[in-house]
Every structure is written in C-alpha cells, then in structure tokens.
Homo-oligomer: A and B are copies of this chain.
Amino acid sequence: MTDTTAAPALALTDLHASLTDPVLDAMNFLNEVVARFPEALSFAPGRPSEGTFETDDLARHLRSYTDHLEQARGWSKDQVRTHLFQYGRTNGIIHELIARTLANDEQIHVAPESIVVTTGCQEAMLLTLRALFAVPEDTLLVSSPCYVGITGAARLLDIATHPVPEGADGPDPEAFAAAARRLRQEGRRPRALYVVPDFANPSGTSMTLAARERLLRVAAEEDLLILEDDPYGFFVRAGSARPTLKSMDHERRVLHLGSFAKTALPGARVGYVVADQEVVGPGGRRSLLADELSKIKSMTTVNTSAIGQAVIGGLLVECDCRLREANAEAIAYYGTNLATLLGELERHFPEERRRELGLSWNEPTGGFFLVVDVPFVADTKALEDSARTFGVLWTPMSDFYTEGGGEHRLRLSCSALTPDQIVEGVRRLARFIESRAAEATERP
C-alpha cells in the first residue's frame, strides 16, 4: 500500500450520526485525557486504584482457575487446554463462579444460565439495549445526569433516550412514573429505565431503601424493565450497604449489570448481565432472556476472552467467591480517599467562603465521585486551562446531560489518587476555582 494517488477522503457527515454526537466524544475524552496532561493531578477518570496488584498476579490467577477446573471439577489437562485455547460457550465460562459470588455478596440468587459474561459491562449494556429495543417508538428512560456508557450505546443503536432528572437522593421513582405516562401519551413506548442505585457515576448519589422499593413498584405499574448498573456498591464510606434492586426483585423486572473493573481489574475486561426474564416465542416456546442475548453476543464479540475470564475466575476462586470481603482493603482505601477529598474541600472553602463564591458540593456516602457546583462555566475550555495552568484535571458535568444542563458543575473522582495526591490536587483545584472567581469579579 503506497500513496501514489490521492486518497478520496470520507465525509464525516456521510458516516453514522453517532460519530458527531458529543456523548461519544465524552467517553473517549474520559479515557484519554490523562495521557494529554501527564503532569496534572487527575480527578477526571473513574479508574480504580491498582492497590497491591502486581503483574505476576495474572499468572497466579490463571493457575488458580486451571487448578480449580482440574481439582474441584475433575477436568483433564486436555479439557482445560481446550477451554482456554478455543472458541467456547457464547455466554461465558465463569458464569457458575459469578452466580456463587452474587449469592454470597449480594443475596442475588439466580441460575448460572441466566448470566451472560461480557467484554466489560459496556458490552452487557449494548446486548441488553439491542435485545429490548425493537421499534423507533421504544424509549429508554435514564436518570439524569447519566453515565455516558449507556446513552452512548443507545446512540450507536439509534435508540431514543429520555432523561429523568435525579434528586439529592438519586433516581426519582415518581419522576420515572410521570415520564413514562407522558411518553406513552405522546405515542412512544417507554420500555426500560436505567439507574445506578449506589454512588452513581457521575453524581455520587444513592437511592434510599424506600426509593428502591418504590422504583420496583413503579416498574410494575408502568410495565418497565429496570437496567440496574452497580459497579460501586461495595465502596461504602459511611453507613451500611443497601440491597441491590435485583436482590429485591420478585417479578424479574430487573436486569442486573455487573462489572469486575472496579472490584477486580479493568484490564481483564469482564462484566456480565443477569437476564433471568422469560421470553415466549412462537408456539409458546420459552427461553431465558440470557439465551436471546447470546444470539446477539455471537454477532458482537462471539466470546468474552477465555483468558480474561480465567483471570477473573481465578481471582474468584482465590476468595471463595466472596469478592466483597476480598475488597475490604479497597473499600477502606476509597472511603479514606472520599473522606480526604471532602475534608480538603471543606478546609479550602469553609462555609463562609463557599457562600461568598456561590460554591457547593454534595457529600456521597461512598463510591468514587462527587459533584461541585461552581460559579463559572465548567466546560472543556475551562478544563484545559485548569490542566495547563493549575495542573489539575476534572470532568465537566455537562458531558452527562443529554439535553443540556450541568454547565456550572464539575465531577471529581478520587479513586485513582493517593490521599497525599488528593490533598495536593484540592490545593490546585482551589487555586483554579479562586482564579476563575476573581476573573468573574474583575469583569465589568
């Protein structure tokens, strides 16, 4: 391939419309912004801490998994070799270990066959959306502000989304009910709603137990499925963990989306979805929704990497499928980080100063994120200035609103920094905020 003739360029406007949608840029931005400002302290990406991970752990996890197959399950070495080398079961090979882990950690009791192991939780979202959304009227309700992974996947598939504003306690069941009724009146079909009940990305909010109960009732009343995404539920800073929606789901209204990126390691790219709904086909033939998702998965990635699954499988075997206990150190670490972040914000901006500036933030009881309301436009231009001049990165909240909003808000993530870095990061952030506030005052 040599460049002897001029190559005809493709027009961006001739490509799929998702490519000019800001939400797709936002995700790339989140993933790659750190590389652009290597010297800056970053409150931007929701990356997990590397903790005590060492590269050699990968070989150990692989060995734990193959030992498990040979010793606990009596497989031959040949069977194990084929299992890791070959194409395999479309819905995954560690579904039984995941089912045991969900039972131990979340009191979610489901058949392993209802679990689809995916290439990260992102593929689980893609499969789920593709299966459930059939006609242009089908609409996904999303708690807003909303994780860009779900709205971006919907955009790829030309699926309509409808934002439902969250409150201080996260997703609002009554607002979902009202939105569903209104959409139906407009001739649309509200099909499912997406929520992160614990320590949501981006807002850090959580649903009360009462709100969870109410949301399940709303789903039944309005005939909606619930897509529950719960990557941060383990990471409680204050108070105690609340039950997942799936553990309270008596009507199989909930599809539970899971990730090992935060509780194990992102590099394995293993997630899953629990899809234990029944599907009735022609002639009354019944299948699990998981089986239907399998057909779609065979056209997205065929299999989730057997090697990635084996690494996660080994890690689960090592902790006897009690991943919450295995995350005890990480839970303490993130709790300390979030407490440090809150404390430092308070130290730099005591109540009086906050009032003068028109500054505030929320105080999540866990997870990786909090939101700061600032007295200036927190857009990518402000972010570039923050990174270049003050050496600190954060995420503009406007990325998480599909229909505008959040222009004066920024997200801080404290998961990938040490407490010392948080102290220094907030010092830099405070200088940036004070500088912006001074600029605003100076202007006529």
Binding site for B on A (CB under 8 A): 1-5, 7-12, 14-20, 24-25, 27-28, 31-32, 35, 45, 47-48, 50, 53-55, 58-59, 62-63, 66, 77, 80-82, 84-90, 108-110, 119-120, 122-123, 126, 130-134, 149, 152-153, 155-158, 223, 246-252, 261, 265-270, 276-282, 286-287, 289, 292, 294-296, 298-308, 311
Contacts and interface: CB of A to CB of B under 8 A. Distances in A.
Please indicate which of the listed interface residues A90, A269, A279 has the most CB atoms of chain B within 10 Å of its own CB: A269
B7 A295 contact: no
4 closest A-B pairs by CB: A267-B306, A152-B299, A7-B252, A12-B281
Contacts of A109: 1-2
A5 B85 CA distance: 43
Given A31-B298, A126-B300, A12 B279 contact: yes
A425 to B, nearest CB: 19
Contact of A90 (B28, B87, B303): B28
Contacts of A292: 12, 15, 19
Given A53-B85, A86-B50, A266-B303, A152 B298 contact: yes
B82 A50 contact: yes
Copies in the complex: 2
A267 B84 contact: yes
A259 to B, nearest CB: 10
A86 B30 CA distance: 13
15 contacts: A8-B251, A9-B286, A18-B130, A18-B299, A19-B295, A28-B294, A31-B298, A32-B90, A53-B81, A87-B267, A120-B303, A122-B299, A149-B302, A158-B158, A267-B305
A21 to B, nearest CB: 9
Contacts of A307: 58, 267-269, 305, 307-308, 311
